[in-house]
Amino acid sequence: MRIAITPPLKFLEKLRRVLLLLLLLGNLSAALACTGTPQVSEITVFNADRAFRDLEYQVQLGPRIPGSSAHEQVRAWLISINKQSGWEMEAQSVIYQGNEIHNIIAKREIDQHLPWIIIGAHYDSRIIADRDPLPENRSKPVPGANDGASGVAVLNEIARILPADLQVNIWLVYFDAEDNGSMPGGEWILGSRAFVEKLKGTPDAVIVVDMVADRDLNIYIEQNSNEDLAAEVWSVAKSLGYEDTFINQPKYHIIDDHIPFIQAGIPAIDIIDFEYRYWHTVSDTVDKVSADSLGIVGRVVVAWLLEKYGEDN
């Protein structure tokens, strides 16, 4: 039996297909807007594949070692793509303890009376793979697929999809020179130290993401991190069903870009998977990391922001 599709049904079917297509393209708000459906800006889709493409892009530029052309290119790219996503951009260039530092800041400032949140990640990669099992590799650079490119990829995608009506001022900070410690003339976390030294005002909370793309993602509560803020974020992760990834146990004390904030009395946490066997080796490459992992971390951070600063709160 043939069922004739009446004109209204045909229209609905067409509409359904347009919606599906737009949804597949990850553009949910455009889909809702074009049907005349009321804006549902709190439905926010973190597109893990799109974030992963940003990770791949950085790795194919080459190691993002301070002073290199890849390091300069990644900065220009961050400024350009975040401008396209509607963020106000600042390139902060300073000399800090004799080092040239270039932090990149994306700002969305709504109202100075609202809270102020910083989400950060380092964009540089380590100059030497000094933990590589093969001695001949230990003077080569780290590709930094996980250690460097993953955090940046999460920040970029947050910049693309974060609803504009959140009741909060947000800075996304791409820190320079995180990764040159434990070697002659080098230091850890220079970019974030320079940033905090120059910071005017006190952010309410800081979340740093680093090494968040391991295919086998295990994120414990880093023990220098602010306990209350960590409890909030790990609880959001649990509510999303990610309790096997965001493991609710303290482990490791890590010197990362959250430390200068903690030292300044600002609540800060480090979301980091420190169980990555390719850490500081030449094998920290794209085949060791996954879009799914970026998606989990991105969704948790976005869900935390929505829970605290979304319209209903």
Q: Pick what 210 binds: Zn ion, ligand 1BN, none; C-beta below 5 to 8 Å, kind-dependent.
A: ligand 1BN
Query: To the nearest whole angstrom, how small is the minimum distance from the Cβ of residue 282 to ligand 1BN?
Result: 15
Contacting residue, 67, 133, 181, 250, with ligand 1BN by CB under 6 A: 181
Q: Which helix (H) or strand (E) holds 248?
A: strand 246-250
Identify whether the C-beta of residue 221 lies closer than 8 Å to the C-beta of residue 229: no
Q: Measured between alpha carbons, how far is 298 from 287 in angstroms, rounded to an integer?
A: 20
Does 57 engage in binding with ligand 1BN (CB under 6 A)? Answer: no
Residues 6+ apart with CB under 8 A from 263: 196
Residues 6+ apart with CB under 8 A from 206: 117, 118, 119, 120, 258, 261, 266, 267, 268, 269
Query: To the nearest whole angstrom, how small is the minimum distance from the Cβ of residue 276 to ligand 1BN?
Result: 9
Identify whether the C-beta of residue 206 lies closer than 8 Å to the C-beta of residue 169: no
Amino acid at 282: V
Exposure string for 20-54, b = 16+ CB within 10 A, e = fewer: eebeeebbbbebbeeeeeeeebeebbbbbebbbeb
Contacting residue, 54, 124, 132, 147, with Zn ion by CB under 5 A: 147
Does 262 engage in binding with ligand 1BN (CB under 6 A)? Answer: no
CB under 5 A: which stretch of 61-69, 122-130, 163-171, 303-311 binds Zn ion? 122-130
Query: To the nearest whole angstrom, how small is the minimum distance from the Cβ of residue 148 to ligand 1BN?
Result: 8
Identify whether the C-beta of residue 159 lies closer than 8 Å to the C-beta of residue 291: no
Contacting residue, 92, 188, 238, 286, with ligand 1BN by CB under 6 A: 188
Identify whether the C-beta of residue 71 lies closer than 8 Å to the C-beta of residue 127: no
Considering CB under 5 A, how many residues would be counted as binding Zn ion? Answer: 3
Q: Which helix (H) or strand (E) holds 111?
A: none
Q: What are phi and psi of 58, to 5 degrees?
A: -65, -40
Does 223 engage in binding with ligand 1BN (CB under 6 A)? Answer: no
Does 222 engage in binding with ligand 1BN (CB under 6 A)? Answer: no
CB under 6 A: which stretch of 59-67, 237-245, 252-260, 282-290 binds ligand 1BN? 252-260
Complex with ligand 1BN: residue 242 or 278, whichever CB lies closer: 278
Does 214 engage in binding with Zn ion (CB under 5 A)? Answer: no
Contacting residue, 124, 210, 273, 284, with ligand 1BN by CB under 6 A: 210
Does 54 engage in binding with ligand 1BN (CB under 6 A)? Answer: no
Q: What is the per-residue binding string for Zn ion in 171-200, x denoting contact by CB under 5 A?
A: --------x---------------------
| Nearest residue to 220 via CA among 237, 205, 204, 206 | 237
Identify whether the C-beta of residue 245 lies closer than 8 Å to the C-beta of residue 295: no
Considering CB under 6 A, how many residues would be counted as binding ligand 1BN? Answer: 9
Q: Pick what 255 binds: Zn ion, ligand 1BN, none; C-beta below 5 to 8 Å, kind-dependent.
A: ligand 1BN
Q: Which two tokens stand for residue 270?
A: 């480090």
Place of tokens 């459906």: 37
Q: At what angle do helices 48-61 and 149-161 cross, to 10 degrees?
A: 140
| Nearest residue to 192 via CA among 83, 268, 249 | 268
Does 273 engage in binding with ligand 1BN (CB under 6 A)? Answer: no
DSSP for residue 288: G
CB under 6 A: which stretch of 112-120, 220-228, 251-259, 287-295 binds ligand 1BN? 251-259
Q: Binders of ligand 1BN among 141-180, rule CB under 6 A?
A: 147, 179
> What residue ranges bind Zn ion (CB under 5 A)?
126, 147, 179
> What residue ranges bind ligand 1BN (CB under 6 A)?
147, 179, 181, 188, 210-211, 254-256
